[in-house]
């Protein structure tokens, strides 16, 4: 696993997570070394992206299971992404308000300095 982690630049915990979900049917062990095919690497890349954008481990697993289902799951996956996007936008707006307030306080301090 360490070799695969280094070779594909994928953290070992992500590899373990992927294997533990049983989603990697094409993964084979050869002489004690995990072998990943191109589809596994693509899925692992998607898992890393989902983690990077803020999905929790359970959400990543749900998303991946939906992706691998044979039935149409695009709408459900899109809803998951939209929920996270809305939450992220709320956080951005909250942070922007904080910055605005900080800038106002800085402005007041500078203004006071100039008056002196």
**Number of structural domains the chain divides into:** 2
Q: What are 23's two structure tokens?
A: 């989603």
Alpha carbon dihedral 83, 88, 89, 95, in 10-degree steps, equals 150
- Same-domain status, 27 and 62: yes
- Same-domain status, 58 and 20: yes
Locate the DSSP E strands across the chain.
28-30, 33-35
Q: What is the pLDDT of residues 16-46, one digit of tens each?
A: 877 777 766 555 666 566 677 788 788 888 9
Domain region containing 51: 1-71
Contact criterion met (CB below 8 Å) for 56 and 44? no
* Mean pLDDT computed over 4-16: 77
The C-alpha atoms of residue 79 and residue 77 are separated, in whole angstroms, by: 5
- Same-domain status, 48 and 94: no
**pLDDT score recorded for residue 5:** 75
Q: What is the pLDDT of residues 55-112, one digit of tens each?
A: 998 999 999 989 988 789 999 999 999 999 999 999 999 999 999 999 999 999 999 9
- Same-domain status, 52 and 96: no
Radius of gyration of the chain (CA): 22
- Same-domain status, 61 and 78: no
- Same-domain status, 46 and 18: yes
Q: Tell me: pLDDT of 3 over 60.
A: yes
pTM for the model: 0.74
- Same-domain status, 104 and 52: no
> Which residues, including other chains, have CB under 8 Å from residue 14's CB and lie 6 or more apart?
44, 47, 48, 51
- Same-domain status, 80 and 32: no
CB atoms within 10 A of CB 93: 10
- Same-domain status, 61 and 29: yes
**pLDDT score recorded for residue 77:** 96
């Amino acid at each position: 696993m360490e070799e695969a982690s280094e070779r594909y630049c994928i953290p070992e915990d992500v590899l373990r997570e992927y294997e533990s979900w049983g989603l990697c049917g094409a993964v084979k062990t050869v002489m004690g070394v995990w072998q990943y095919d191109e589809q596994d690497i693509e899925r692992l890349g998607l898992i890393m992206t989902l983690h990077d954008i803020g999905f929790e481990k359970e959400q990543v697993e749900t998303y991946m299971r939906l992706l691998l289902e044979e039935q149409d799951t695009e709408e459900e996956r899109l809803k998951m992404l939209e929920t996270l996007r809305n939450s992220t936008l709320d956080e951005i707006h909250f942070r922007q308000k904080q910055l605005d307030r900080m800038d106002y306080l800085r402005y007041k301090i500078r203004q006071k300095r100039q008056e002196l």
